[in-house]
Amino acid sequence: MARYADRFWEIDCLRGFAVLLMLLYHFLYDLDFFEIADIQLSTGLILYAGRFSALLFILISGTALSISHSRALNKEFGGSGVENFSKYLKRGLRLYLMGLLLTGITWIFLPEEYIVFGILHFFGISAVLVYPFLKYGKENLFFSLFFGLSGLYLRNMTFGSSSLLWLGFTPENFRTLDYFPIFPWFGVLLAGVFLGNFLYAGGKRQFEIPYTGENYLFRLFSRVGQHSLVIYFIHQPLFLGLLFLSGLISPNVI
């Protein structure tokens, strides 16, 4: 395996691990939501597994964005030496539109808790917002702390308007199935950008790591990581279909 392959197996593997954790959490959430099983999701190990999967997924996404940016500037990888902002704008629009589609679907079926600004909305906005930060190195640690700590400060506060919901200013009695505001989650993404610029400077791995691609578990994680967006988008319909076909829920509750 070439040292500077197009993809780094360890990043795909970590992303795949995060996705599998997310699948486990969401399946348990569905079992509890439809009262198939009484599962405590608000505290304990399951809650932390769900939060950790999101944190790891966003962190790895920041790292991947940094690597992509570095390679676009590195002629060794066929880069032009100039980064094109339109690439980030197009990616952001695509992800945000996918998020809006989930908003519409959940508004139809779960109007009391429909997704307003979930993780796809977050990735759509942050794909554009991240562009000016990609050139920074250790400075992104400061920016990461700023967004992260500001988000933690806002978390226990409520406001009279929902117009800044996407930033983290939540109104009273706000309920949603999925919520990833810019504060604090953009801070996690910037931490990933920092790691990418530090550990993969110039788009090259700056450390030695043995290749474990022959291990079945690592290959599974890597394959899932390579298709994480598709898996995320279709997993809930698949879960609901499985529960319906198994007779655990009836179609009139979906």
pLDDT at 78: 65
pLDDT at 75: 67
CA atoms within a 13 Å half-sphere pointing along the CA-CB vector of 122 = 25
**What digits encode the pLDDT tens for the residues 232-251?**
989 988 998 888 888 877 66
pLDDT confidence bin for 109, thresholds 50/70/90: confident
pLDDT confidence bin for 164, thresholds 50/70/90: very high
For the chain, which residues make up each domain, given as ranges? 9-253
pLDDT at 197: 95
What's the CA gap between 115 and 193, in Å, rounded?
A: 27
pLDDT at 237: 85
pLDDT at 3: 41
197-203: Cβ within 8 A, 24+ apart: 197/66, 197/70, 197/136, 197/137, 197/140, 198/137, 198/138, 199/63, 200/8, 200/63, 200/66, 200/67, 200/70, 201/70, 202/70, 202/74, 202/76, 203/4, 203/67, 203/70, 203/71, 203/74, 203/76, 203/77
Overall pTM > 0.85: yes
Nearest partner of 221 among 15, 1, 5, judged by Cα:
15
Nearest partner of 175 among 232, 113, 99, 105, judged by Cα:
113
Q: Which amino acid does the sequence have at 200?
A: Y
Q: For residue 159, list its beta bridge partners.
A: 171
Residue 78 or 17, more confident: 17
pLDDT at 223: 92
What's the CA gap between 44 and 47, in Å, rounded?
A: 6
pLDDT, average across residues 229-233 = 92
